[in-house]
Amino acid sequence: EIVLTQSPDTLSLSPGERATLSCRASQSVPGNYVAWYQQKPGQAPRLLIYGASSRATGIPDRVSGSGSGTDFTLTISRLEPEDFAVYYCQQHGRSPTFGGGTKVEIK
Amino acid sequence: QVQLQESGPGLVKPSETLSLTCTVSGGSIGTFYWSWIRQTPGKGLEWIGYVHHSGNTKYNPSLKSRVTISVDTSKNEFSLRLSSVTAADTAVYYCAREGSSEYFQYWGQGTRVTVSS
């Protein structure tokens, strides 16, 4: 099983600031197949990024993903009020597994 | 736009079988892979398994001995059965449709299942 570790647990930022979220895998992810999701309270996760860097339909270009091998990053260039949420990474190179999440909160 | 809706009992007794159904609208279940995922405060998000319209399945090894996922193409729905449940199976259960690979493009709203006597 590929274990994903996300850091930090919580990121306290102000609107307009840049958010950088990390996801580290216990072993190299086949195909660099990493997805990122946003989840707000009481809602299902929403797909943002797949294949490490491909944006899902309707996701703004201020949201980007990068990385390869075992280290992956989600970047939100300028935080909007609707971006404050919990973010999860997931590897889809083998039997799917998820990271523990990073909460982006308003400072 | 594909929509998914989970249904089933919100309360299940320990040692019994949890059964949920996901109804798909806005698209045919006859393509893609269809998954069940659960979320708990303690273990976070956990993929349970998937089914293809052909009946092909794949399960999380940690749950494989207790899980059955099946599909009914005539009703455009798929189902989850999890046997011998314990309190550790208390979770919000989501159904989801995969994209071109094993990521989850569309999700149901989730249904909370509590295991308790």
pLDDT at A43 over 90: yes
Q: What is the pLDDT of residue A16?
A: 97
- CA-based nearest residue to A102, from B37, B44, B99, B46: B44
Specify the range with the lowest mean pLDDT, choosing from A23-32, A56-65, A89-98: A89-98
Percent of chain A with pLDDT strictly greater than 70:
100
Q: Does A96 touch chain B (CB under 8 A)?
A: yes
Asked if pLDDT for residue A9 goes beyond 90, the answer is yes
Give the span between the Cα atoms of B115 and B94, in whole angstroms: 16
pLDDT at residue B101 in the model: 80
pLDDT band at A47 (very low <50, low <70, confident <90, very high): very high
The pLDDT mean for chain A works out to 96
Rounded Cα gap, residues A25 and B101, in angstroms? 18
Q: Can you tell me the mean pLDDT for A20-34? A: 96
Q: What is the pLDDT of residue A76?
A: 98
**Residue B102: predicted pLDDT:** 84
The verdict on A46 touching B (C-beta cutoff 8 Å) is yes
Q: Is the pLDDT of residue B42 over 90?
A: no
Question: Which residues in chain B are closer than 8 Å to A93, comparing Cβ atoms?
Answer: 102
Rounded-to-integer distance, Cα A28 and Cα A33, Å: 10
Residue closest to A84 by CA, chosen among A12, A23, A5: A12
- Among A47, A95, A100, select the one facing B60 at the smallest CB separation: A95
Query: What pLDDT is recorded for position A94?
Result: 81
Cross-chain residue pair A98–B101, CB shorter than 8 Å: no
Which residues, 6+ apart, have CB-to-CB distance to B28 below 8 Å? B76
Residue B50 has pLDDT above 90, yes or no: yes
Q: How confident is the model at residue A93 (pLDDT cuts 50, 70, 90)?
A: confident
- What pLDDT does residue A41 have? 94
Q: Which two tokens stand for residue B22?
A: 């996901």
